Amino acid sequence: MNEIKEIQERAIIVGVNLKKDTHFEYSMEELANLAEALNVEVAGKITQNLERVTASHYVGTGKIEEIKALFEELDANLVIFDNELSPAQIRNLERDLECKVIDRTILILDIFARRAKTKEAQMQVEIAKLQYMLPRLIGLHNSLSRQGGGAGGGFANRGAGETKLELDRRKIEDQITKLRRDLEEIKEQRETQRKQRRKNNIPVVSLVGYTNAGKSTIMNQLLARTTEEEHKQVFEKDMLFATLETAVRQIDLEDNKKFLLTDTVGFVSKLPHHLVKAFRSTLEEARDADLLLHVVDASNEESEYMVEVTNNTLQAVGVEDVPTIYVYNKADRADIEYPVINQNRIWLSAKEDVGLDELITLIRKEIFADYETVSILVPYDKGELVSFLNEKSTILDTKYEEQGTLLKVELRAEHKSKFAEYIINN
């Protein structure tokens, strides 16, 4: 049986620096990383400085010949643009360059499609891809007809989208409607879970941040401190968008305190708005959190820009006014001292397991601020109250007096009324 040889994608990446954007070079570097995440070899790069994009081709028409010449010289088979292209721009570029042309948006959508593991994530990505394709059915015909296969052999169109090219506009719209309806049911289940968490009064801490900043590593390190159950560890890898699914884990501390830690999808600059909208219900996990851990790659020169991108994306889905600790991870790769705490900022290295104890201390101060230390004298015939305190509070000291058990405890404010008649000092 003859083996079918996969065609290696070799791309020219193209970007337009609008009005001397200070983050342009980083954006191009990130585009190359996104391409490599799909096993696409970046063979060359072309850039242009413009005050505004050209409506017909995005780049200036004089650049077309330059792109075409480099494309042929480097034996490339794909051109990737750093910004989202209009349907007309895709048509014009493919006609004049005589090759497959895609943009940053479809690149990110395809990475998400490949990484999505749960049914919810797959549906969210599928909606975003369909919405992107709807106005581009004609313009994308040549590109999409060559999409398929595995890594290196083109861009995957999975799941419900195998026959997108044959679907007319109405069918795609019907498909989007059905997917949204199915997602709404999952959203209701998620909301029920949130209500249960609120009822249980367990604080929720949510990890947010740029892709590949180390959120999953931090979650695993915190889990390792509190449980020996390895199956609770989440997937982590030094790659863009390693995980898309929202993970929720309970962190049990040694003094009967506990909190839920949630991990959300990572962000990237120019994240397609269709994708942000599709993942809105997942990102809302952060909106209902008691505390955000905003994880930042301290070793990256663009770290503050990444903070800005993440904050803007969070605002877009309604995540505002949530107390935040900025966790500058990967400090071991940067020429800075760590672990260091400065107000609500901490520099650490999750991989080296340095600074995690200090992080837990910061988390405690934020989410357990409503705890009070009181002395309670519990009569010997009220053993159930001692059991309650053992389970729900931190017992700092125990003495056995004539009248009952004298306990010095750290107690949640909401539980204080239950013991009002037994409290002997505040």
Give residue limits of the domains in the chain. 10-107, 115-181, 202-367, 371-425
Averaged pLDDT for residues 111-132: 85
Interstrand relation of 78-81 and 291-297 (parallel, antiparallel or unpaired): unpaired
Q: Could you tell me where the DSSP H helices lie in 134-253?
A: 141-145, 169-200, 215-226
Q: What is the pLDDT of residues 330-356, one digit of tens each?
A: 999 998 999 999 999 999 999 999 999
The three-state secondary structure class of 214 is coil
State the CATH class of domain 10-107: alpha beta
Interatomic CA distance for residues 417 and 421, integer angstroms: 8
297 pairs with which residues across the strands?
A: 329
pTM here is 0.77
Averaged pLDDT for residues 279-307: 87
Structure tokens at 354: 């340095």
Amino acid identity, residue 192? T
Query: Which CATH number describes the domain made up of 202-367?
Result: 3.40.50.300
DSSP element (H, E) containing 250: strand 247-252
- Sole residue written with tokens 């051109």: 79
Residue-averaged pLDDT of the chain? 83
**With 50 as the cut, is the pLDDT of residue 301 above it?**
yes
Q: What is the pLDDT of residue 3?
A: 42
Q: What is the pLDDT of residue 74?
A: 94
Q: What is the pLDDT of residues 78-105, one digit of tens each?
A: 999 999 999 899 999 999 999 999 999 9
Inter-CA distances, 60 with 53, 63, 191, Å: 8, 5, 49
Interatomic CA distance for residues 134 and 164, integer angstroms: 10
Q: Give me the torsion for CA of 402, 405, 409, 412, rounded to 10°.
A: -120
Q: What is the pLDDT of residue 4?
A: 39
Other C-beta atoms closer than 10 Å to the C-beta of 245 total: 17
Q: What is the pLDDT of residue 316?
A: 85
Averaged pLDDT for residues 63-89: 93
Q: What is the pLDDT of residue 244?
A: 58
Q: Residue 382: CA atoms inside 13 Å, Cβ hemisphere, count? A: 16
Residues 6+ apart with CB under 8 A from 412: 201, 370, 371, 392, 393
Averaged pLDDT for residues 193-204: 74
Q: What is the pLDDT of residue 200?
A: 67
Could you tell me which residue, 281 or 60, shows the higher pLDDT?
60
Nearest residue to 214 (alpha-carbon basis) of 110, 100, 57, 334: 334
Q: What is the pLDDT of residue 64?
A: 94
Interatomic CA distance for residues 166 and 179, integer angstroms: 19
Q: What is the pLDDT of residues 201-223, one digit of tens each?
A: 788 999 999 888 888 899 989 98
Structure tokens at 349: 């290295």
Q: What is the pLDDT of residue 249?
A: 87
Interatomic CA distance for residues 230 and 160, integer angstroms: 34
Averaged pLDDT for residues 37-48: 93
> Which range, of 26-30, 65-69, 421-425, averages the lowest pLDDT?
421-425
Averaged pLDDT for residues 112-122: 81
Q: What is the pLDDT of residue 242?
A: 52
Q: Is 288 exposed, middle or buried (0-12, 13-18, 19+ CB in 10 A)?
A: middle
Interatomic CA distance for residues 156 and 159, integer angstroms: 10
Amino acid identity, residue 372? E
End-to-end CA distance of the chain: 82
Which segments of 267-404 are extended strands (E)? 291-297, 324-329, 340-342, 345-347, 371-378, 394-400
Reported as a pLDDT band with limits 50, 70 and 90, residue 69 is: very high
φ, ψ of residue 355 to 5 degrees: the values are 105, -5
Amino acid identity, residue 348? L
Domain 10-107 identical in fold to domain 202-367: yes
The correct CATH number of 371-425 out of 1.10.3470, 1.10.10, 3.30.70, 3.30.420 is 3.30.70
Q: What is the pLDDT of residue 151?
A: 40
Q: What is the pLDDT of residue 426?
A: 53
**With 90 as the cut, is the pLDDT of residue 161 above it?**
no
Averaged pLDDT for residues 32-37: 90
Could you tell me which residue, 137 or 365, shows the higher pLDDT?
365
Nearest residue to 372 (alpha-carbon basis) of 330, 416, 326, 341: 416
Q: What is the pLDDT of residues 366-389, one digit of tens each?
A: 998 888 888 999 999 888 988 888
Reported as a pLDDT band with limits 50, 70 and 90, residue 238 is: low
Q: Residue 357: CA atoms inside 13 Å, Cβ hemisphere, count? A: 2
